[in-house]
C-alpha cells in the first residue's frame, strides 16, 4: 500500500480483540487511530476469556478449522485465509508470548492467561501512536449522520466515515458488549439477525436430589449423541458440567447451535449420553448379569461405573426401580441415557452470541453497504462457532480485514 496522506485518521469504537487488531493494521500504515470504548479499561471480555485458560486458536488442519463456522464458513473463509491460525500464533509469538498445543489440539499461551498478552500488545499499540479514549459510549447517529460518543461530562461527535465499529456480541454485558446498538444500525438499513445464545447452557428439569447433591459436578469421559434438525446424527466424546439448572460445558457447547435450532423448531430437544464409551453394550451386560447375591443394585452397579456417583444418580433419574433391576434395560440406558433440554440459558450468560450484523449488509472489505466508509468487525457480525479458539481467531481475522478495508477506502474510494 502506498503512503497515505498524513492527515488521515480513523476512529474505532470498541477496544476488544477485533477493534485492537484493526487499530494495529491502521497504525502500521502510518495513519492516526483513535480507539473509543464505553468501559474504563480495554479488552475486558478478552481478559475474562483468559481466566479459564485463553484458548487463542486451534491446531487442526485449516480445512477442518474452517468447517467450525457452519453455514458462515464461506463468508469468513476469505478473512481466515488471509490471517489463518498459524499466522495468529506467529503474531502472538512476536509479542514475546509462547504458545503450546493442548491434548485436544487447542492452542494456549504458555501462561494460559490473556493479561500478559494484552499488556504487551497495548504498549506496542501506544508506541505506534494509537490513542485510547475510555468511558466513551457510542449512542448512535445524530441528524447529520455523525457518530455520537458520550463520556461522563460531554458528548463528542465523530465522522462515521473512516470509522470501524467493533462492538462485540451481546453476552456478558457487564464486560462491555451489550448488543443494544442494533436498532441504530437497523434504522440506517443494516440487516440484523436476532441475538441468540451460543456456547451456552441449557435447562433440564433435574430432581431435587441432582440439584442439591451434584450442582457443578463434572461428568467425565462420556459420549454425547445428538440428531439435528436435518436428521444428521453426530457423536462426540468429552466432558460436561451438571449444574443446578441443567447442563453446560465444552461437550454441550460443541452441540449448542444444533440443539438451539432444534429447540426453536420443536420446543425441546433430547440428546443421549453413553456413560461408558470405552465399553461395549455386550461387555456391560455381561457384568450386570453376574449374580449380585445380597448386594444392593447401587453396589452391583459399581462393577460397571466404579465410584462415579453422578453417573449412577443420572440412571436413577431416568429409570424406575423396576427398570434398574433389569440388566438388559440398564445396559441399554448406560449406553444411551436420554436427557431432555427444556430451554436455552439467557444470552447474558452465554460464552458468545449468534446474530448481529448480517453479511448481506457488508461488502468484502466489511464496509456497511448502506453507510459508506463505516466498517464492522468481530463478534458483532452474524456468525458463530464452538469454543476451541474459533471465536478469537475470527475476531482477529475480521478486525484485521476491517483495518485493511478502511485503509483501502482512504486510498481509493473516499477520493
Ligand X SMILES: Cc1cc2nc3c(=O)[nH]c(=O)nc-3n(C[C@H](O)[C@H](O)[C@H](O)COP(=O)(O)OP(=O)(O)OC[C@H]3O[C@@H](n4cnc5c(N)ncnc54)[C@H](O)[C@@H]3O)c2cc1C
Which residues contribute to the site for ligand X (CB under 6 A)? Answer: 13-19, 36-39, 44-46, 48-49, 52, 54-55, 137-138, 166-168, 171-172, 176-178, 181, 351-352, 378-379, 387, 389, 391-392, 395
Q: How far is the CB of 15 from ligand X (least distance, A)?
A: 5
Strand stretches in 299-385, DSSP E:
337-341, 343-344, 352-357, 374-376
Task: Report d(CA 87, CA 170) in Å as an integer.
Answer: 28
Q: How far is the CB of 329 from ligand X (least distance, A)?
A: 40
Q: How far is the CB of 316 from ligand X (least distance, A)?
A: 32
Q: How far is the CB of 61 from ligand X (least distance, A)?
A: 18
Question: Pick from 350, 354, 351, 70: which is nearest to 196 by CA?
Answer: 354
CB within 8 A of 226, min separation 6: which ones? 233, 234, 255, 258, 259, 262, 269, 271, 272
CA angle 70, 72, 74 (to 5 degrees): 105
Nearest residue (CB) to ligand X, 138 versus 255: 138
Q: How far is the CB of 81 from ligand X (least distance, A)?
A: 18
What is the rounded radius of gyration, in angstroms, for the C-alpha atoms of the chain? 25
Q: How far is the CB of 317 from ligand X (least distance, A)?
A: 28
Task: Report d(CA 91, CA 193) in Å as an integer.
Answer: 32
Nearest residue (CB) to ligand X, 65 versus 181: 181
Q: How far is the CB of 342 from ligand X (least distance, A)?
A: 23
Q: How far is the CB of 356 from ligand X (least distance, A)?
A: 9
Task: Report d(CA 209, CA 313) in Å as an integer.
Answer: 8
Task: Report d(CA 46, CA 125) in Å as an integer.
Answer: 16
Q: How far is the CB of 8 from ligand X (least distance, A)?
A: 22
Question: Pick from 165, 80, 169, 79: which is nearest to 354 by CA?
Answer: 169
Nearest residue (CB) to ligand X, 97 versus 339: 97
Task: Report d(CA 1, CA 8) in Å as an integer.
Answer: 14
Nearest residue (CB) to ligand X, 256 versus 272: 256
- Residue 11 · residue 390 · CB < 8 Å: no
Nearest residue (CB) to ligand X, 308 versus 388: 388
CB within 8 A of 127, min separation 6: which ones? none
Element housing 291 (H / E): none
Nearest residue (CB) to ligand X, 44 versus 300: 44
Nearest residue (CB) to ligand X, 55 versus 223: 55
Task: Report d(CA 243, CA 361) in Å as an integer.
Answer: 39
- Cα 204 to its chain centre, rounded Å, is 22
Q: How far is the CB of 352 from ligand X (least distance, A)?
A: 5
CB within 8 A of 295, min separation 6: which ones? none
Nearest residue (CB) to ligand X, 240 versus 276: 240
Nearest residue (CB) to ligand X, 201 versus 389: 389
The sign of the CA dihedral 264, 265, 267, 272 is negative
Nearest residue (CB) to ligand X, 138 versus 214: 138
Task: Report d(CA 164, CA 30) in Å as an integer.
Answer: 17
CB within 8 A of 119, min separation 6: which ones? none
SS3 386: coil
SS3 339: strand
Nearest residue (CB) to ligand X, 13 versus 404: 13
Q: How far is the CB of 97 from ligand X (least distance, A)?
A: 15
Amino acid at each position: 500500500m502506498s503512503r497515505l496522506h498524513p492527515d488521515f485518521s480513523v476512529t474505532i469504537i470498541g477496544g476488544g480483540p477485533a477493534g485492537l487488531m484493526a487499530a494495529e493494521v491502521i497504525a502500521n500504515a502510518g495513519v492516526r487511530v483513535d480507539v473509543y470504548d464505553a468501559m474504563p479499561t480495554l479488552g475486558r471480555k478478552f481478559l475474562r476469556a483468559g481466566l479459564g485458560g485463553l484458548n487463542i486458536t486451534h491446531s487442526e488442519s485449516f480445512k477442518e478449522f474452517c468447517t467450525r463456522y457452519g453455514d458462515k464458513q464461506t463468508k469468513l473463509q476469505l478473512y481466515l485465509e488471509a490471517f489463518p491460525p498459524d499466522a495468529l500464533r506467529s503474531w502472538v509469538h512476536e509479542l514475546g508470548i509462547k504458545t503450546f498445543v493442548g491434548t485436544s489440539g487447542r492452542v494456549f499461551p504458555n501462561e494460559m492467561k490473556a493479561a500478559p498478552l494484552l499488556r504487551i500488545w497495548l504498549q506496542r499499540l501506544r508506541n505506534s501512536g494509537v490513542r485510547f479514549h475510555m468511558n466513551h459510549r457510542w449512542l448512535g447517529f445524530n441528524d447529520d449522520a455523525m457518530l455520537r460518543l458520550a463520556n461522563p461530562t460531554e458528548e463528542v461527535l465523530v465522522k462515521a466515515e473512516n470509522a470501524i465499529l467493533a462492538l462485540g456480541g451481546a453476552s456478558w454485558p457487564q464486560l462491555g458488549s451489550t448488543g443494544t446498538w442494533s436498532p441504530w444500525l437497523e434504522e440506517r438499513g443494516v440487516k440484523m439477525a436476532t441475538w441468540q445464545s451460543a456456547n451456552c447452557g441449557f435447562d433440564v428439569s433435574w430432581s431435587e436430589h441432582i440439584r442439591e447433591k451434584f450442582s457443578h459436578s463434572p461428568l467425565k469421559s462420556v459420549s454425547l449423541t445428538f440428531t439435528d434438525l436435518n436428521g444428521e446424527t453426530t457423536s462426540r466424546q468429552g466432558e460436561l458440567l451438571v449444574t443446578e439448572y441443567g447442563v453446560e460445558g465444552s461437550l454441550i457447547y460443541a452441540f449448542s447451535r444444533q440443539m438451539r435450532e432444534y429447540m426453536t423448531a420443536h420446543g425441546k430437544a433430547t440428546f443421549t449420553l453413553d456413560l461408558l464409551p470405552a465399553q461395549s453394550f455386550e461387555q456391560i451386560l455381561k457384568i450386570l448379569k453376574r449374580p449380585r447375591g445380597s448386594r444392593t443394585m447401587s453396589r452391583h452397579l459399581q462393577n460397571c461405573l466404579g465410584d462415579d456417583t453422578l453417573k449412577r444418580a443420572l440412571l436413577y433419574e431416568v429409570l424406575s426401580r423396576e427398570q434398574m433391576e433389569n440388566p438388559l434395560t440398564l445396559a441399554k440406558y448406560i449406553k444411551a441415557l436420554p436427557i431432555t433440554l427444556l430451554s436455552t440459558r439467557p444470552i447474558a450468560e452465554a460464552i458468545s452470541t449468534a446474530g448481529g450484523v448480517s453479511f448481506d449488509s457488508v461488502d468484502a472489505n466489511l464496509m456497511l453497504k448502506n453507510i459508506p466508509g463505516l466498517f464492522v468487525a468481530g463478534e458483532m457480525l452474524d456468525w458463530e462457532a464452538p469454543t476451541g479458539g474459533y471465536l478469537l481467531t475470527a475476531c482477529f481475522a475480521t478486525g484485521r480485514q476491517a483495518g485493511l478495508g478502511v485503509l483501502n477506502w482512504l486510498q481509493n474510494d473516499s477520493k
